Each structure stands twice: as structure tokens, then as C-alpha cells.
Amino acid sequence: MNLLYYFVLFASLSSTLTLFVSPASAETPSSATNVKQTAEKTVEVRRESQKLADSWANEAAVLLSEIQALEQELATLKWRREKTAVYMKDLEDKMTTLKAKERAANEIRNELEPFLDQTLQALKDFSENDLPMLAEMQAPRLRSVEATLNNADANIVTKTRSLLEATTQALEYGYFPEPDEAEIDIDGRLIRVQRLNVGRLALFALSGDARDAWQWHRKTGRYESVPHFVRAVQEVIQITERSRLVSLVELPVGSPEKLEEEVSR
């Protein structure tokens, strides 16, 4: 760009000097006019040359700015490509680790799920042979556990937790007496009573008027009358309901037949 500018300037000066070194005989009024015109043209050429040089300089600055922006963008793209490669390598390593964990989890699941089903069945069998009151209390929880174990969307942790909680709850039922109200079958008649379990040792029922008491007989699968322990059953119910001070109370835990024999003695 600078070379072109100097070239145009040199050409203009050469033209001017040529006019001034012409023979003196040629310097007439018309020649003076020509010299003036030539000088004006030279100035105009220089002015246009300067404008052209300035325009090229501005264009060069714009092009230089664009080049710098493209170089920066190229550097950013290069960095992004390298960073993406690093990310891809990290993701591949993580995928490999996750696949290994998935295989291990599937192996545990394949071994643990049959055990969970077997444990649930054992718990259901135990509940069926439990005291009626406790079996009724466990039934909703066991149905919930069975639904969880049969749920394809539930993970193995959820299934295991559900079964362990049900097992823990079933064990806790045997620790403390828990009274409730229910209708029981006494010789073909439904009677509204208060029931009371003594852990898993015995289950008693007290009539609403507190005149009759019964004990659940496992062998016969029915309630047998225990008239001599009406007062004791009532007292225990009152203690568990906190309407009576705690005291020692004697309750039968054997079969009704043996209890009747002991009472008759």
C-alpha cells in the first residue's frame, strides 16, 4: 500500500518537473495556463491518492481486526475440541465403572430377590399361625410388602427395606400388651369385646359389661371362657390404657383346660 502511494506521488512530481524544464521559447500565455492546469491536476491526483491510501488503511485495519477475531475463534474451537476429547474420555471411564456396578447389582439382585420372596412367605406363614389379633394387625403391612416385591419398578433397596421393616414390626408386636376393640365369634354369636394380647403368649377378650372373659385356644382355633380371670383381664386392660396404676396381675398363659384344673384345685 505505501509503495503504491509513493509511486503515484513520484509520477505526479515527474510530470510537474517535465513542464518546468521545457524550452523557454515555449513559455507563452497558453503554456502558463497549461502549467497551472497540470499543477492543479497533480494536486488533485495527490489528494485522490491520499484518499485512496486512507481508504486502504481503514480497510486494512478492518481486515486485521477480522483476522484477529478469526484467530481467536480458531483458538477457542481448538480448545473446545481438546476439552471435548477430555470429557469423552472421562465419560467413557465412568460408563465402564457404571457398567461394572450394574453387573454387580444385577448379580446381587438375582441372588437377593428369591431370598426376599422366601422370607416374605415365611413371615406370612408365621402370621397365619399367630394370635388372631396380631395376624390382623400384620395383614395390611404384609400385603404392602408383597406389592412392593412384585413391583417391577421398585429397586432392590426399596424391596429389602420394606421387608425388614415388616419383619421388625412383627417382632415388636410380641413385646408389649396392646388392647383393641373387635367383634369375635363366641359359640356362633358375634360379641363386641376388648381384646388384649400378652405378647405372643396369650390372647384375651373381655365383654363390654366386663362380666365375661375368654382366652384364645390355638389348638381349637376358638375362644374359650375363663370366668375366674375376668377381674385380672379387666385390670390389665386398664393398666395398658393408663387408667389404672401399674401393679402385679396374674393372668393365665396355658391352655384353658389346664387352667380350669388349677383353679378347681
Residue 220 included in any domain: yes
CA atoms of 3 and 8, how far apart (whole Å) = 9
One domain, residues 143 and 193: no
User: Which percentage of the chain shows pLDDT scores above 90?
Assistant: 35
CA atoms of 221 and 243, how far apart (whole Å) = 31
pLDDT (mean) for 22-28? 45
Of the candidates 154, 172, 190, which is a domain's last residue?
172
Does the structure show a pLDDT above 80 at 18?
Answer: no
Residue 5 included in any domain: no
Cα distance between the two ends of the chain = 134
One domain, residues 161 and 189: no
Q: How confident is the model at residue 29 (pLDDT cuts 50, 70, 90)?
A: low
Domain span holding position 155 = 109-172
Classify the C-alpha dihedral 124-168-139-229 as positive or negative: positive
Residue 133 included in any domain: yes
Digit-coded pLDDT (tens) for 165-208? 999 988 887 677 778 898 999 888 899 999 988 888 889 999 98
One domain, residues 240 and 187: yes
Q: Which element (helix H / strand E) includes 188? A: none
Residue 237 included in any domain: yes
Of the candidates 172, 201, 220, which is a domain's last residue?
172
Residue 121 included in any domain: yes
pLDDT (mean) for 48-66? 83
One domain, residues 198 and 221: yes
One domain, residues 254 and 193: yes
Q: Which element (helix H / strand E) includes 30? A: helix 29-128
Residue 19 included in any domain: no
Exposed/middle/buried for residue 39 (C-beta within 10 Å: 0-12, 13-18, 19+): middle
For residues 137, 139, 140, 144, the Cα torsion angle rounded to the nearest 10 degrees is: 140
- Choose among 185, 170, 182: nearest CA to 134: 170
Residue 188 included in any domain: yes
One domain, residues 142 and 211: no
Of the candidates 145, 172, 199, which is a domain's last residue?
172
pLDDT (mean) for 152-159? 91
Cβ(193)–Cβ(180) below 8 Å = no
Residue 38 included in any domain: no
One domain, residues 146 and 191: no
Query: What is the count of structural domains for the chain?
Result: 2
One domain, residues 163 and 188: no
CA atoms of 96 and 206, how far apart (whole Å) = 66
Q: How confident is the model at residue 75 (pLDDT cuts 50, 70, 90)?
A: very high
Residue 78: predicted pLDDT: 92
One domain, residues 205 and 251: yes
One domain, residues 253 and 217: yes
One domain, residues 156 and 202: no
pLDDT (mean) for 225-250? 84
One domain, residues 152 and 190: no
